[in-house]
Structure 1
Amino acid sequence: MGQREPVLILGGSGQAGAGAAALLRRWHPTLPLTIAGRDPERARRLADELGHATAATVDLRRRDLGLPATTACSAVVAALWDDRLHGLRYARERGVPYLSISSGLVDIAPEIVAGAQRAEAAPILVASHFCAGAVVLAALHAAREFDRIDTVRIGAVLDEQDTGGPAGAADLERWSTATTAGLVRRDGVFTWVDGPDAEAEVRRADGTGLPGRSIAVLDVPSLALATDAPDVRFDFAVGESTGRRLGGPASFEAGVEIEGTDRAGTPTRTLRRLTHPSGQRPVTATGVALGVERLVGLRGAAVAPGLHTPEALLDPAYAVERLAESGAVFTDVAVG
């Protein structure tokens, strides 16, 4: 690996950041990491556990992040809300890739403008999808058996005890404050829905339902444009997961329903469930780690400067393989 500079993970001691760091260490034992956070002791403990890692204290209110001028990195990962975009500025001034997961569909405009203004500077991976793009990649893997796709519908359950720590809870609150409407693609048109049109029943892995609603999430345009499906919807419910209903820890569960035609032109409908007995953290961490691995050149060709989304850079089959390694389970469900 030579003298590769470390990957700087902002929020590296939080749930998503620490989980991604652990996976990167497992996949690439000598990849240097910098675990950056507000709590120096917590960051130091994690860095010591990982090995080939250092700890740093950052201040997101400062343009230089409060880091010494001599600090070097190969990429910047914002595993928390980069509200002033100082992490993005820091990456672009150094010409290194940047990955974010907390902007959501309602907050990505500044990142898009930054990418357009200096498209030549470095890659920006906008991965503020549900679970950092892991569900989109799983859905695209399921879609490979289709010749034409008419409908993609995702139904995801987030256990109320598994919102991702303080940062994750703050993200959910911020997004819900920005809009209560959901974004769908209906008959080829991206449409905002609210009120009764946004309501939906989301099925848990055990078949029971939870009241949910369509949400404004990047997964909708990503799936719509990747599959050319004229009808795409992402429904979301917060409540008791199947894991807790059965007396265990909070589980992660998402159903991917696809309708269209197969290679022989026969109408086909499939339902595949992605579940994880340990909740959303390992799923999100896998999405982040896959993005980092690709951005810093550890898998695949060099990533060109400009804006990217997970499905534009990552192989769905490889993503599913890594998700399964993390403990995720994929189940095909019979549909009528």
Structure 2
Amino acid sequence: MQAIVIVGGYGVVGAQIAQILRQSHGDLPLILAGRNPNQAQALLAELGAHTSAAAVDVLKPNPLAGLQPRAIINAVNDPHDYVLHEAVARGIPLVDITRWTARLQHTLNGLDRAALKAPLVFASHWMAGLASVVAVAATQQLAHTEQLDLHVLFSLKDKAGPNSIEYMQHLTTPFTITEKHQPREVYPYTEPQTITFPNGYRAKTYRFDTPDQWTLPQSTKAASVSARITFDDRLTMGLLLGLARSGVWKLLMHRRFDRLRHSLLYNPGKGAAHELVWQISGRDAAGNPQQLTKTIVDPQGQTHLTAVGAVIQLETMVGLDGSPALDAGIYFPETAPKLAYALERMQQLGVELN
């Protein structure tokens, strides 16, 4: 049986993807891939049989040379698209959880969809697309969806991989949202809204860029879609707001400040719950206004929730969920999985949905 190759398979998120797959599919061959496969030895011992490691350098062309994967999960940044290009050229199914909106749009513009020989699931949406999956499932009870508002509570005590801060790097870079069916340019960390999260924490949330805001208007026909975030430490949240609004952060974007900027944003803890709230408005078949609130809580944190999302995308892509594998083509998180399966699978893996 051909193996699932997890690029970045011994990193913070990749290791949890591998652990979930081993627990759920005991005989499924797994290859933990990365530039330093010796670092995978402890994880290999934990996962046991049917697991191996391989050297894969995403910074070099043809990084998967010598491997014959059944499918790939890419859990590290693919800055030159070498993993993507090889998957497309060789017809290997791919789940990618690393591309933020501008990169995703640029990537899709460069792909010849007619030439695709395998499914490509672009799931760099929030938590590998699980936020969007929950939103789309909720809209099934509406005849018309008017507004989808995502609010994220990010705990500074949570585990985090180094790639997790990419969306926070561009505090002064505008991005486009859909509002009343029209595009509108907004800036990160602006236009706050006050929200109460499931744990009782009440705070202002601020705009940030995520691909959900680009694909959900297409998949749900929602008139407006937004995403906002806050940190569970008010001092840190205030510091980031001050740096963004004063113009200091723009100066810090120079390459010589990379280490300083990284140290300000990347200080992972040992773990904490990750909490999301969807506020959804629309109308039922009779035209009556409807207001829905959906919450997602992963007690094991955002890296675990991301891993759960990546696993669900893989399972539905290659048929590990018991359904036929996806046909060749381009998919997003909310269009790839069967919604009922995805919701049930999330809860099986410890995610709390309300």
| Residue matched to 1:271 | 293
Q: Is the 8 A contact 1:48 1:54 kept in 2?
A: no
CA–CA separation in structure 1 for the residues paired with 2:277 and 2:227: 10
Aligned pair partner of 1:23 in 17, 20, 23: 20
| Residue matched to 1:315 | 338
CA–CA separation in structure 2 for the residues paired with 1:281 and 1:263: 38
Counterparts in 2 of 1:159 and 1:301: CA distance versus 1, 3 Å: same
1:226 matched to 2:207 = no
CA deviation map 1:269-318 (0-9, x unaligned):
11121111111122111110111112223232232222211111112221
Counterparts in 2 of 1:192 and 1:251: CA distance versus 1, 3 Å: same
Amino acid in the other structure paired with 1:96: I
| Residue matched to 2:105 | 109
Q: Which runs of 5+ in 1 are unaligned?
A: 242-247, 332-336
Aligned pair partner of 2:351 in 321, 328, 336: 328
| Residue matched to 2:167 | 172
| Residue matched to 1:96 | 92
When the two chains are superposed, the root-mean-square deviation of aligned CA atoms in Å is 2.3
Aligned pair partner of 1:62 in 60, 63, 67: 60
Which structure carries more strand by proportion? 1
| Residue matched to 1:254 | 276
| Residue matched to 1:161 | 157
TM-score, scaled to structure 1? 0.86
Amino acid in the other structure paired with 2:350: G
Aligned pair partner of 2:35 in 35, 38, 45: 38
Counterparts in 2 of 1:196 and 1:289: CA distance versus 1, 3 Å: closer
Q: Percent identity between the aligned chains? A: 27
Count of residues in Structure 1 that have an aligned counterpart in Structure 2: 317
Q: Which runs of 5+ in 2 are unaligned?
A: 235-269
TM-score, scaled to structure 2? 0.82
Which moves more between the two structures, 55-64 or 295-304?
Answer: 295-304
Q: Is the 8 A contact 1:282 1:326 kept in 2?
A: no
Runs of 4 or more consecutive aligned structure 1 residues displaced over 6 Å after TM superposition: none
Counterparts in 2 of 1:308 and 1:284: CA distance versus 1, 3 Å: same
| Residue matched to 2:128 | 132
Counterparts in 2 of 1:273 and 1:77: CA distance versus 1, 3 Å: same
Q: Is the 8 A contact 1:184 1:234 kept in 2?
A: no
Q: Is the 8 A contact 2:95 2:313 kept in 1?
A: yes
1:216 matched to 2:209 = yes
